[in-house]
A and B are shown apart, each in its own frame.
Chain A
């Protein structure tokens, strides 16, 4: 994940309390989604950014996961996400995201 974004994630978690924060990703692939999810839960796996060694344990989902999709207004989801969702491997994304949440999310 972008180093500047890591810095902002850390600041926001500090400011609002990690239990009140949710991170939602739009990554195109399961692997990229998994890496970003790992960064905001276990810490930066590349040890390059501000979240290296920082386990925030934030709640993290991909926008195409069913838990998120069902809470979003269906018309807006259709308009903003559905087109891209058709070309994404959503099953792969769900597998990656669930594995990270099971392992590292604290909230």
Chain B
């Protein structure tokens, strides 16, 4: 069963890891609706 398709996605990216906008493009390609995207600095 698809995990992402049709889901409302919250993205918490990381400036030193994978940033929000990169994850956003990935999730949209899998059929998720991005409702919030942020890029944190976890340090």
Given contacts A22-B32, A23-B10, contact A76 B3 (CB under 8 A): no
Range class of the B interface residue count: 20 to 34
Q: How far is the CB of A64 from chain B (nearest CB, A)?
A: 7
Across the interface, name the chain A residue whose C-beta is closest to B22: A80
Contacts A26-B11, A80-B18 aside, 4 further interface pairs with beta carbons under 8 A come to A2-B40, A22-B9, A24-B23, A28-B42
Q: How far is the CB of A79 from chain B (nearest CB, A)?
A: 8
* B8: chain A residues within 8 A (beta carbon): 12, 16, 20-22
24 contacts between A and B (CB under 8 A): A1-B40, A5-B38, A9-B36, A12-B10, A16-B8, A20-B7, A22-B32, A23-B11, A26-B11, A26-B14, A26-B18, A26-B20, A28-B17, A28-B42, A32-B17, A63-B26, A68-B3, A68-B30, A71-B31, A72-B29, A77-B26, A80-B22, A81-B18, A88-B17
* B2: chain A residues within 8 A (beta carbon): 71
* B10: chain A residues within 8 A (beta carbon): 8-9, 12, 21-24, 40, 58
